Amino acid sequence: MTTTDDTKARHTEYHPSTREYVRVGLILVAFTCLEVWLSYSSLSGTPLIAALLTCTLIKFLMVIGYFMHLKFDNGRFSRTFALGAIGAFTLYAAVLLMFGVWGK
Amino acid sequence: MADVTAPDIVLDEHYTSTGLRSTKLAMWLFLASECLLFGGLITAYILYRGASLTGPYPQDVFDIGYTSVSSFVLLASSLTMVLAHNAALDKDFPRMRLWLTGTAMLGLTFVGGQVFEFTSFYREGLTIKTNLFGTTFYTLTGFHGVHVTVGVLMLLILVVMSWRGSLSDEPAFPVEMVGLYWHFVDIVWIVIFTLVYLIPSPQGPIR
Protein backbone atom coordinates (compact mmCIF):
# COMPACT_ATOMS: atom_id res chain seq x y z
CA MET A 1 0.00 0.00 0.00
CA THR A 2 2.77 2.39 0.90
CA THR A 3 4.21 2.45 -2.60
CA THR A 4 0.83 3.17 -4.18
CA ASP A 5 -0.02 5.89 -1.63
CA ASP A 6 3.36 7.56 -2.12
CA THR A 7 2.89 7.52 -5.87
CA LYS A 8 -0.56 9.10 -5.54
CA ALA A 9 0.76 11.76 -3.15
CA ARG A 10 3.42 12.71 -5.66
CA HIS A 11 0.76 13.29 -8.31
CA THR A 12 -1.69 15.34 -6.24
CA GLU A 13 0.34 18.55 -6.03
CA TYR A 14 -1.59 21.83 -6.29
CA HIS A 15 -1.87 23.50 -9.68
CA PRO A 16 -3.38 26.98 -10.06
CA SER A 17 -6.56 27.32 -12.13
CA THR A 18 -6.72 29.00 -15.55
CA ARG A 19 -8.22 32.08 -13.89
CA GLU A 20 -5.27 32.33 -11.48
CA TYR A 21 -2.78 31.94 -14.33
CA VAL A 22 -4.49 34.68 -16.34
CA ARG A 23 -4.40 36.94 -13.27
CA VAL A 24 -0.65 36.32 -12.87
CA GLY A 25 -0.17 36.98 -16.62
CA LEU A 26 -2.00 40.31 -16.34
CA ILE A 27 0.13 41.34 -13.34
CA LEU A 28 3.26 40.52 -15.38
CA VAL A 29 1.98 42.65 -18.27
CA ALA A 30 1.24 45.51 -15.81
CA PHE A 31 4.79 45.38 -14.42
CA THR A 32 6.24 45.33 -17.95
CA CYS A 33 4.14 48.41 -18.83
CA LEU A 34 5.44 50.08 -15.66
CA GLU A 35 9.03 49.27 -16.64
CA VAL A 36 8.60 50.76 -20.12
CA TRP A 37 6.90 53.84 -18.65
CA LEU A 38 9.75 54.24 -16.12
CA SER A 39 12.35 54.11 -18.91
CA TYR A 40 10.59 57.03 -20.64
CA SER A 41 9.93 58.97 -17.41
CA SER A 42 12.01 61.83 -16.01
CA LEU A 43 13.45 59.44 -13.43
CA SER A 44 17.18 58.81 -13.91
CA GLY A 45 20.29 57.44 -12.23
CA THR A 46 20.07 55.20 -9.18
CA PRO A 47 16.29 55.66 -8.51
CA LEU A 48 15.49 54.58 -12.09
CA ILE A 49 17.81 51.56 -11.93
CA ALA A 50 16.45 50.58 -8.49
CA ALA A 51 12.83 50.85 -9.69
CA LEU A 52 13.53 48.84 -12.87
CA LEU A 53 15.42 46.12 -10.99
CA THR A 54 12.60 45.87 -8.41
CA CYS A 55 10.04 45.34 -11.20
CA THR A 56 12.32 42.74 -12.81
CA LEU A 57 12.78 40.89 -9.53
CA ILE A 58 9.01 40.79 -8.92
CA LYS A 59 8.38 39.47 -12.46
CA PHE A 60 11.18 36.89 -12.07
CA LEU A 61 9.76 35.62 -8.77
CA MET A 62 6.19 35.50 -10.11
CA VAL A 63 7.21 33.42 -13.14
CA ILE A 64 9.28 30.91 -11.15
CA GLY A 65 6.72 30.83 -8.31
CA TYR A 66 3.51 30.41 -10.32
CA PHE A 67 4.32 29.42 -13.92
CA MET A 68 7.20 27.12 -12.90
CA HIS A 69 5.22 25.92 -9.83
CA LEU A 70 8.07 26.45 -7.36
CA LYS A 71 5.62 28.03 -4.91
CA PHE A 72 3.63 24.79 -4.79
CA ASP A 73 6.29 22.18 -5.56
CA ASN A 74 8.72 20.33 -3.31
CA GLY A 75 11.15 22.73 -1.59
CA ARG A 76 14.12 20.74 -2.89
CA PHE A 77 13.42 21.98 -6.43
CA SER A 78 13.46 25.58 -5.16
CA ARG A 79 16.74 24.99 -3.35
CA THR A 80 18.28 23.34 -6.44
CA PHE A 81 17.38 26.31 -8.63
CA ALA A 82 18.34 28.83 -5.93
CA LEU A 83 21.77 27.20 -5.76
CA GLY A 84 22.34 28.06 -9.44
CA ALA A 85 20.59 31.43 -9.48
CA ILE A 86 22.02 32.83 -6.23
CA GLY A 87 25.40 31.21 -6.95
CA ALA A 88 25.55 32.86 -10.39
CA PHE A 89 24.41 36.22 -8.97
CA THR A 90 27.02 36.12 -6.19
CA LEU A 91 29.82 35.05 -8.51
CA TYR A 92 29.11 37.66 -11.19
CA ALA A 93 28.33 40.42 -8.68
CA ALA A 94 31.80 39.79 -7.23
CA VAL A 95 33.31 40.00 -10.74
CA LEU A 96 31.50 43.31 -11.42
CA LEU A 97 32.57 44.63 -8.02
CA MET A 98 36.16 43.58 -8.70
CA PHE A 99 36.18 45.51 -11.99
CA GLY A 100 34.58 48.52 -10.29
CA VAL A 101 31.52 48.54 -12.56
CA TRP A 102 29.25 49.78 -9.76
CA GLY A 103 31.56 52.68 -9.07
CA LYS A 104 31.19 54.08 -12.62
CA MET B 1 5.72 -6.61 -1.03
CA ALA B 2 2.77 -8.70 -2.16
CA ASP B 3 0.57 -5.70 -3.06
CA VAL B 4 3.29 -3.91 -5.04
CA THR B 5 2.20 -4.33 -8.65
CA ALA B 6 4.49 -4.30 -11.67
CA PRO B 7 3.40 -0.81 -12.93
CA ASP B 8 4.19 0.68 -9.48
CA ILE B 9 7.71 -0.70 -9.64
CA VAL B 10 8.23 0.69 -13.15
CA LEU B 11 6.87 4.10 -12.08
CA ASP B 12 9.06 4.19 -8.98
CA GLU B 13 12.17 3.83 -11.12
CA HIS B 14 11.63 7.47 -12.13
CA TYR B 15 11.92 8.67 -8.55
CA THR B 16 15.05 9.33 -6.50
CA SER B 17 15.55 8.20 -2.91
CA THR B 18 14.42 11.70 -1.88
CA GLY B 19 10.97 11.03 -3.38
CA LEU B 20 11.63 13.49 -6.19
CA ARG B 21 11.24 12.53 -9.81
CA SER B 22 14.76 12.22 -11.25
CA THR B 23 13.87 13.77 -14.64
CA LYS B 24 12.40 16.83 -12.96
CA LEU B 25 15.36 17.17 -10.60
CA ALA B 26 17.69 16.88 -13.61
CA MET B 27 15.73 19.61 -15.41
CA TRP B 28 16.04 21.93 -12.40
CA LEU B 29 19.78 21.19 -12.19
CA PHE B 30 20.10 21.97 -15.89
CA LEU B 31 18.21 25.26 -15.44
CA ALA B 32 20.42 26.10 -12.44
CA SER B 33 23.49 25.58 -14.66
CA GLU B 34 21.92 27.75 -17.35
CA CYS B 35 21.82 30.59 -14.78
CA LEU B 36 25.63 30.48 -14.79
CA LEU B 37 25.77 30.54 -18.62
CA PHE B 38 23.44 33.53 -19.01
CA GLY B 39 24.89 35.19 -15.90
CA GLY B 40 28.30 35.13 -17.60
CA LEU B 41 26.94 36.59 -20.84
CA ILE B 42 24.98 39.32 -19.02
CA THR B 43 28.04 40.15 -16.90
CA ALA B 44 30.18 40.47 -20.05
CA TYR B 45 27.59 42.90 -21.49
CA ILE B 46 27.52 45.00 -18.30
CA LEU B 47 31.30 44.89 -17.97
CA TYR B 48 31.80 46.40 -21.46
CA ARG B 49 28.83 48.75 -21.24
CA GLY B 50 29.90 52.17 -22.45
CA ALA B 51 33.37 50.89 -23.37
CA SER B 52 32.87 50.99 -27.15
CA LEU B 53 35.20 53.44 -28.87
CA THR B 54 33.17 53.63 -32.09
CA GLY B 55 29.44 53.59 -32.84
CA PRO B 56 26.74 52.62 -33.34
CA TYR B 57 25.95 52.87 -29.63
CA PRO B 58 22.88 51.34 -27.91
CA GLN B 59 20.93 54.62 -28.04
CA ASP B 60 21.54 54.82 -31.81
CA VAL B 61 19.94 51.47 -32.62
CA PHE B 62 17.55 50.42 -29.82
CA ASP B 63 13.81 50.80 -30.35
CA ILE B 64 12.25 50.32 -26.91
CA GLY B 65 8.68 50.25 -28.31
CA TYR B 66 9.49 47.43 -30.71
CA THR B 67 11.37 45.38 -28.08
CA SER B 68 8.52 45.93 -25.59
CA VAL B 69 6.12 44.26 -28.03
CA SER B 70 8.55 41.30 -28.30
CA SER B 71 8.60 41.10 -24.49
CA PHE B 72 4.79 41.01 -24.34
CA VAL B 73 4.78 38.23 -26.96
CA LEU B 74 7.17 36.12 -24.86
CA LEU B 75 5.16 36.80 -21.67
CA ALA B 76 1.98 35.73 -23.50
CA SER B 77 3.73 32.52 -24.58
CA SER B 78 4.47 31.68 -20.94
CA LEU B 79 0.76 32.04 -20.18
CA THR B 80 -0.26 29.78 -23.10
CA MET B 81 2.36 27.25 -21.94
CA VAL B 82 0.81 26.90 -18.46
CA LEU B 83 -2.64 26.66 -20.05
CA ALA B 84 -1.29 23.77 -22.19
CA HIS B 85 -0.04 22.10 -19.02
CA ASN B 86 -3.42 22.56 -17.31
CA ALA B 87 -5.14 21.05 -20.38
CA ALA B 88 -2.70 18.09 -20.24
CA LEU B 89 -3.52 17.56 -16.55
CA ASP B 90 -7.24 17.54 -17.48
CA LYS B 91 -6.37 15.04 -20.28
CA ASP B 92 -8.01 17.45 -22.75
CA PHE B 93 -5.56 16.72 -25.56
CA PRO B 94 -7.10 18.84 -28.38
CA ARG B 95 -6.94 21.88 -26.06
CA MET B 96 -3.41 20.93 -25.00
CA ARG B 97 -2.27 20.78 -28.66
CA LEU B 98 -3.98 24.10 -29.35
CA TRP B 99 -2.13 25.87 -26.51
CA LEU B 100 1.17 24.17 -27.35
CA THR B 101 0.86 25.26 -30.99
CA GLY B 102 -0.07 28.77 -29.82
CA THR B 103 3.01 28.86 -27.59
CA ALA B 104 5.22 27.70 -30.49
CA MET B 105 3.72 30.37 -32.77
CA LEU B 106 4.34 33.10 -30.18
CA GLY B 107 7.90 31.80 -29.81
CA LEU B 108 8.38 31.92 -33.58
CA THR B 109 7.00 35.48 -33.59
CA PHE B 110 9.59 36.43 -30.97
CA VAL B 111 12.44 34.80 -32.94
CA GLY B 112 11.19 36.46 -36.14
CA GLY B 113 11.19 39.79 -34.33
CA GLN B 114 14.73 39.20 -33.18
CA VAL B 115 15.87 38.33 -36.73
CA PHE B 116 14.23 41.57 -37.96
CA GLU B 117 15.93 43.53 -35.14
CA PHE B 118 19.34 42.01 -35.91
CA THR B 119 18.89 42.77 -39.62
CA SER B 120 17.98 46.41 -38.95
CA PHE B 121 20.97 46.79 -36.58
CA TYR B 122 23.22 45.29 -39.25
CA ARG B 123 21.93 47.80 -41.80
CA GLU B 124 22.72 50.59 -39.32
CA GLY B 125 26.32 49.35 -39.23
CA LEU B 126 26.31 47.25 -36.05
CA THR B 127 27.89 43.84 -36.58
CA ILE B 128 29.36 41.41 -34.05
CA LYS B 129 32.83 42.81 -34.94
CA THR B 130 32.00 46.54 -34.95
CA ASN B 131 32.60 47.31 -31.28
CA LEU B 132 32.33 45.85 -27.77
CA PHE B 133 28.62 46.68 -27.65
CA GLY B 134 28.01 44.68 -30.86
CA THR B 135 30.06 41.71 -29.66
CA THR B 136 28.44 41.42 -26.23
CA PHE B 137 24.92 42.31 -27.44
CA TYR B 138 24.80 39.80 -30.31
CA THR B 139 26.37 37.05 -28.20
CA LEU B 140 23.91 37.51 -25.32
CA THR B 141 20.70 37.98 -27.34
CA GLY B 142 21.84 35.44 -29.95
CA PHE B 143 22.29 32.74 -27.30
CA HIS B 144 18.85 33.59 -25.95
CA GLY B 145 17.35 33.42 -29.44
CA VAL B 146 18.88 29.96 -29.96
CA HIS B 147 17.32 28.83 -26.67
CA VAL B 148 13.90 30.11 -27.81
CA THR B 149 14.33 28.28 -31.15
CA VAL B 150 15.19 25.02 -29.34
CA GLY B 151 12.10 25.56 -27.16
CA VAL B 152 9.91 26.02 -30.25
CA LEU B 153 11.27 22.76 -31.71
CA MET B 154 10.53 20.92 -28.44
CA LEU B 155 6.97 22.32 -28.42
CA LEU B 156 6.36 21.25 -32.01
CA ILE B 157 7.78 17.76 -31.27
CA LEU B 158 5.32 17.50 -28.35
CA VAL B 159 2.42 18.47 -30.66
CA VAL B 160 3.47 15.88 -33.27
CA MET B 161 3.95 13.19 -30.60
CA SER B 162 0.51 13.97 -29.19
CA TRP B 163 -1.06 13.73 -32.70
CA ARG B 164 0.62 10.37 -33.25
CA GLY B 165 -0.44 9.19 -29.79
CA SER B 166 3.15 8.46 -28.85
CA LEU B 167 3.24 10.58 -25.68
CA SER B 168 3.63 8.56 -22.48
CA ASP B 169 0.62 7.42 -20.46
CA GLU B 170 1.29 10.46 -18.28
CA PRO B 171 1.33 13.23 -20.95
CA ALA B 172 1.29 16.13 -18.47
CA PHE B 173 4.84 15.29 -17.40
CA PRO B 174 6.70 15.96 -20.70
CA VAL B 175 4.57 19.08 -21.14
CA GLU B 176 5.62 20.23 -17.66
CA MET B 177 9.33 19.58 -18.45
CA VAL B 178 9.22 21.51 -21.73
CA GLY B 179 7.22 24.18 -19.87
CA LEU B 180 9.96 24.56 -17.24
CA TYR B 181 12.51 25.15 -20.02
CA TRP B 182 10.18 27.59 -21.78
CA HIS B 183 9.50 29.64 -18.64
CA PHE B 184 13.23 29.75 -17.92
CA VAL B 185 13.81 31.25 -21.38
CA ASP B 186 11.12 33.79 -20.48
CA ILE B 187 12.75 34.80 -17.16
CA VAL B 188 16.10 35.20 -18.91
CA TRP B 189 14.42 37.62 -21.32
CA ILE B 190 12.81 39.48 -18.38
CA VAL B 191 16.34 40.15 -17.07
CA ILE B 192 17.84 40.94 -20.51
CA PHE B 193 15.02 43.36 -21.34
CA THR B 194 15.73 45.43 -18.23
CA LEU B 195 19.52 45.25 -18.09
CA VAL B 196 20.20 45.61 -21.82
CA TYR B 197 17.33 47.70 -23.20
CA LEU B 198 15.75 49.71 -20.38
CA ILE B 199 18.64 50.76 -18.15
CA PRO B 200 20.30 53.72 -19.90
CA SER B 201 23.83 53.17 -21.17
CA PRO B 202 26.67 55.47 -20.00
CA GLN B 203 26.71 57.09 -23.46
CA GLY B 204 23.33 58.65 -22.78
CA PRO B 205 19.68 57.72 -22.26
CA ILE B 206 18.21 55.25 -24.75
CA ARG B 207 15.23 56.86 -26.48
Reported CATH class of domain B64-198: mainly alpha
How many Å lie between the alpha carbon of A75 and the closest alpha carbon of chain B?
10
A84–B contact, CB cutoff 8 A: yes
Residue B41 three-state SS: helix
Torsion of CA B91, A11, A9, A81, to 10 degrees: -160
Q: Can you give the pLDDT at residue A104? A: 55
Find all residues with CB under 8 Å of A43, minimum gap 6, and list them: A51
Q: How far apart are CA B97 and CA A14, in angstroms?
A: 22
Give me the torsion for CA of A63, A65, A69, A72, rounded to 10°.
-160
Q: How confident is the model at residue B82 (pLDDT cuts 50, 70, 90)?
A: very high
Contact yes or no for B3 and A25 at CB 8 A: no
What is the reported pLDDT for B54? 84
Query: Where does chain B show beta strands of DSSP type E?
Result: none
**Interface residue A74 vs chain B (CB under 8 A):** yes
Predicted TM-score of the model (pTM): 0.88
Q: What is the pLDDT of residues B133-149, one digit of tens each?
A: 999 999 999 999 999 99
User: What pLDDT is attached to residue B53?
Assistant: 83
User: What residue ranges do the domains of chain B occupy?
Assistant: 64-198
**Residue contact A88–B206, C-beta within 8 A:** no
What per-residue confidence (pLDDT) applies to B7?
44
Evaluate whether B107 touches B152 at the Cβ level (below 8 Å).
yes
Task: Please judge whether A85 and B35 are an interchain contact, meaning their C-beta atoms are less than 8 angstroms apart.
Answer: yes
Alpha helix ranges (H) inside A1-104: 2-11, 18-40, 45-62, 75-98
The pLDDT of residue A13: 67
| B2: Cα separation from own chain's centroid | 46
Mean pLDDT of chain A: 85
Structure confidence by residue, pLDDT tens digits, A24-75:
999 999 999 999 999 999 888 889 999 999 999 999 999 999 999 999 988 8
